[in-house]
Structure 1
Amino acid sequence: MPLLLIIYLAFISLGLPDGVLGSIWPVMRQDLGLPLYSAGFIGAVVSVGTVISALNSYRLIYHHGTGKVTLVSVFLTALALLGFSFAPNLPVLLLWAVPLGLGAGSVDAALNNYVALHYQARHMNWLHSFWGLGASTGPLVMGMVLSLQYSYRFGYRLLGGFQLILVVVLLLSIRRWEAPHKPDLVGHASEPEQEPVKQSALALAMLGFFLYCALEVSTGLWAVSYLVEVKALDATEAAFYGSLFFLGITSGRMLSGFVSFRLSNTALIKGGLLVCLVGIMLLFFSSLQTSGFSLLLLGLGCAPVFPSMIHETPRRFGVEQSQRIIGLEMAAAYVGSTVTPPLFGLLALVLGLAWMPALQVFILFLLFLSIQLIKRFLNT
């Protein structure tokens, strides 16, 4: 099996758990007797685990190799999903959130850097479309489980089983991975020693990843609850609508791979942000008939932003700096994922979810501003 295909499969496993909690939360919290905002704490624990593993990604890959790190990471997420299916209360959910987070960060940073160095922009977009395939499959499976009158616990067990199948695939292909070594730079001309990274540009790059994940996670985790609490949609119907956001990301990244033949990474980022703005405004003014389309459009807008920012990293900061910097960018992204869920949850408790689109527009504006300032600092 080609290595690139194995990397694609690994990204399916990364995405599979990401949209599940938000899509099932209106039902899950009632079954467990939990308040609305507590989902934010679960998401925060997951994100803390990803931050820790992302910051240690270079060290883990160096000592154990990408193949073994990927295999163990997917196995951890499989155990976590199965653990969620048996959890009787919030403390146990928080406990299982730890391996769910640790399973994602290291492999995410390593594989993103590998593709950024060795493949063109279209492959980065297609790589992340496989993440979207996993992320859209999770809510879709949960929606089908609920429509068939099964418990959400069965849905978690089904998804955990999918992850275990991917574990077997990775185990059988373990010899395809290279032995433990520092990130390979084959295919890139050797470069003179890079100038010190401009700290302002690096800080802005990290801020951009923080803000993007704040936007994506807030939508993935709270959009279904927004439709139920504010737009008065049925929980089962809203869960299906929630999957459209991740479907938009998946299909949008596949399309962006082809568009990247003609448009630069920067053009893809700015175009995506504009589509996001339209999707958020449509969500705010949406009726029952247009709610699903607004989330689909928002997913299409988000699609090219994250992979294009990653693919720009070696060009902005140099090949020799890219593994370290992508690790920092992934950590910043996960910090955004950590801070946003409890923040949105607490604000929802105080103000209600009706304000959510306004905050998303503000995040979008700051993201656009950070991208413009990076371009000015680096003269790109």
Structure 2
Amino acid sequence: MFHLLLGIIYLAFVSLGLPDSLLGAAWPSIYPEFSVPVSYMGGISMIIAAGTIVSSLQSGRLTARFGTGRVTAFSVLLTAAALFGFSISRSYLELCLWAVPYGLGAGCVDASLNNYVALHYASRHMSWLHCMWGVGASLGPAILGLALSGGQSWSMGYRSIAALQILLTAVLFLSLPLWGRAPSVGDQDGPSPAPAARALSLPQIVRIPGAKEVMLTFFCYCALEQTTGLWASSYLVLQWGLSSETAAHFASLFFIGITVGRALSGFLTLKCSDAQMVRLGQGVVLGGIVLLLLPLGERAALPGLILIGLGCAPIYPSIIHATPEHFGPACSQAMIGVQMASAYVGTCLMPPFFGLLANHIGVSLLPGYLLVILALMTASHEGLLRRTAGRPAESAAC
């Protein structure tokens, strides 16, 4: 039964990734149909991000009241409804309205599932589950591409993914009896229910020792990942003269590095602790940035992007998995909620800020910009380890 539930959680992580890259892939077909500028995609993505931040911050209260299984099932249902709403929209305003439930559903399920896995399963599963997110993020555009190549509109691609989400919703509702009988961490010792989650306000969370450090760590990680992903192609074109087509293909190596790296990280966690995995990842990212800084053109830039992706791979899942250890099982859901919110704030703010710098100074600043973010992330993570060192998880002050 426990392995059956784990399989369902793996499916849920694939479903989390399915819609995440869909808007960008579909937008070239959407904006001419609705007669809006290409830049209007930013408005929809900002609404989704805002909803995600709000629901992430509320995930602790919702999970404490309804349980992870119900929160996950209803959140996926909400996301499925939003995707179907996208598919029947006939104006830009309708897309913006449907973006609200999409963001609310995505944030809550992300925070709840991550906390559940951190409490009940070994670190390797956290890495492999986030690898499955990458698989889903790759499948979304592929499903859309099949619809478009078959003569269908972009809305059919959204409708197909909405149907997959509805199917998963049914599976999640059927699996609700399994969620209360989760295995202990290590998934070998049978049932071991976690302490009841505490619903904490944001001021209460911020006062917990180590909270500000972990929030800054997540902010910096997602700032680094998103800035690299969004600006890698432009950097290769403007700095080293590659064609747009070649740069797009090479920039995808960054995402391949993350997906492959998370698959490999699952095996490394058998020998390394979460803190060691984070430090290893930071070291590999540093190596990739150093390659970008070398005046060797694409010969150094391309392996540099791959290394940055590989280094990013273990950081996010390892910090999440360590949350119950740092802050105690009863507080982990609230903490993961603010960590998710901090991550999305970093995603929203830092890539556009680099855009302003690139516009006024030059895209050549990318390696230095990433290096500053990495240094801040490393310092905040080490501060987190110091603030929580020697404190038993069960006695974490929350």
For 2:276, what is the secondary structure of its paired residue? Answer: helix
Q: Which has the higher contact order (CA 8 A, sep 6+)?
A: 1
Deviation at 1:333, TM superposition (A): 1.8
Name the aligned partner's letter for residue 105 of structure 1.
Answer: G
1:280-337 CA distance string (max 9 Å, x none): 5556779779877655443222110011111222222223332222222222222223
1:147-175 CA distance string (max 9 Å, x none): 77876555444433433332343244344
Cα RMSD (Å): 3.8
Name the aligned partner's letter for residue 55 of structure 1.
Answer: L
- Aligned equivalents of 1:279, 1:52: Cα separation in 2: 34
Q: Does 1:273 align with 2:282?
A: yes
Name the aligned partner's letter for residue 326 of structure 2.
Answer: R
8 A Cα contact 2:194 2:330, kept in partner? no
1:27-71 CA distance string (max 9 Å, x none): 766776666654444332222111111111122223333223212
Q: Which residue of 1 aligns with 2:45?
A: 43
Distance 1:288 1:267, change over 3 A: same
Q: Does 1:252 align with 2:261?
A: yes
- Aligned equivalents of 1:160, 1:275: Cα separation in 2: 37
206, 222, 231: which is aligned to 1:213? 222
186, 194, 198: which is aligned to 2:192? 186
Q: Which residue of 1 aligns with 2:210?
A: 201
Name the aligned partner's letter for residue 317 of structure 2.
Answer: P
8 A Cα contact 1:252 1:300, kept in partner? yes
For 1:117, what is the secondary structure of its paired residue? Answer: helix
Deviation at 1:123, TM superposition (A): 1.8
Name the aligned partner's letter for residue 298 of structure 1.
Answer: I
Q: Does 1:328 align with 2:338?
A: yes
For 2:308, what is the secondary structure of its paired residue? Answer: helix
Q: Which residue of 2 aligns with 1:81?
A: 83
Q: Does 1:370 align with 2:380?
A: yes
135, 138, 142: which is aligned to 2:137? 135
Q: Which residue of 1 aligns with 2:394?
A: none
Q: Which runs of 5+ in 1 are unaligned?
A: 180-184, 191-195
- Aligned equivalents of 2:222, 2:86: Cα separation in 1: 23
TM-score, with structure 2 as normaliser: 0.76
Pick which of 212-221 and 292-301 moved more: 292-301
Pick which of 150-159 and 58-67 moved more: 150-159
Name the aligned partner's letter for residue 368 of structure 1.
Answer: T
Q: Which residue of 2 aligns with 1:125?
A: 127
91, 100, 114: which is aligned to 1:112? 114
Identity of counterpart residues, as a percentage?
A: 48
8 A Cα contact 1:41 1:341, kept in partner? no
TM-score, with structure 1 as normaliser: 0.79
Q: Which residue of 2 aligns with 1:308?
A: 318
For 1:56, what is the secondary structure of its paired residue? Answer: helix
46, 56, 59: which is aligned to 1:57? 59
- Aligned equivalents of 1:34, 1:353: Cα separation in 2: 28
Name the aligned partner's letter for residue 48 of structure 1.
Answer: A
1:205-247 CA distance string (max 9 Å, x none): 1110111122223334454566677766456x76665654433
Distance 1:19 1:80, change over 3 A: same
347, 350, 361: which is aligned to 1:340? 350
Q: Which residue of 2 aligns with 1:100?
A: 102
Task: Count matched residues.
Answer: 369
Q: Which residue of 1 aligns with 2:395?
A: none
8 A Cα contact 1:143 1:240, kept in partner? no
Distance 1:326 1:257, change over 3 A: same
1:349-379 CA distance string (max 9 Å, x none): 6566554444223212211121122233334
Q: Does 1:18 align with 2:14?
A: no
Q: Which runs of 5+ in 2 are unaligned?
A: 182-190, 197-204, 391-398
Deviation at 1:256, TM superposition (A): 0.8
- Aligned equivalents of 1:282, 1:139: Cα separation in 2: 30
Q: Which residue of 2 aligns with 1:182?
A: none
8 A Cα contact 1:280 1:294, kept in partner? yes
1:100-125 CA distance string (max 9 Å, x none): 21112222222222221222211221
